[in-house]
Amino acid sequence: MVQRALHYCKTRIVGYHGHGQDGFSSYQLLDYNAAEDKYIIKGPLEGTNPDIVFNKIQNNQGEEIIADPSEVTLLPGTPVFGCGLEGELSHLNGKLADLLNINIIPFKMRVHFEADDIEHLINRENMRVAIDLTEKE
């Protein structure tokens, strides 16, 4: 039971609205390719029941898609890191943050960086999902 809960917490779920879709569907975020600046996602994970969604993930269901970050909507609580930040925020590039919410106008993310313990409004294009949070030895 603990392993299941831990796996569920580590699973990254995002909204995907690419390929001419109306609205967005939930997908599992598998990886981020930094060299190409693309997310690798799998889904859709239709339904709102966490057990059904988790079973789809465990059973490896869905189609794998390579998605542009502009086609992906991050959800509050998602761990992210800064990238391409300039000026007084450049020291936060590569630093871990929690996504608190998304302001629709302007389309910025409100994030809390662990590095300076301050909330910032950051442009969407300057945030990427932190995929693997395991500690390095």
Q: Return the pLDDT at 137.
A: 37
Q: Cα separation of 94 and 103, whole Å?
A: 22
Is the predicted pLDDT of residue 60 greater than 90, yes or no? no
Q: Return the pLDDT at 130.
A: 87
With 0-12 / 13-18 / 19 or more C-beta atoms within 10 angstroms meaning exposed / middle / buried, residue 130 is middle
Please tell me whether residue 82 adopts helix, strand or coil conformation: strand
Please tell me whether residue 54 adopts helix, strand or coil conformation: helix
Of the segments 9-13, 38-42, 71-75, which one has the largest average pLDDT value?
Answer: 38-42
- 98-129: per-residue pLDDT in tens? 999 887 667 788 999 988 888 999 998 899 98
Q: Would you state the torsion angle of the CA atoms of residues 121, 124, 79, 42, taken in this order, to the nearest 10 degrees?
A: 160
Q: Return the pLDDT at 70.
A: 85
Q: Return the pLDDT at 54.
A: 67
- 17-37: per-residue pLDDT in tens? 876 666 778 888 999 898 999
Q: Return the pLDDT at 89.
A: 93
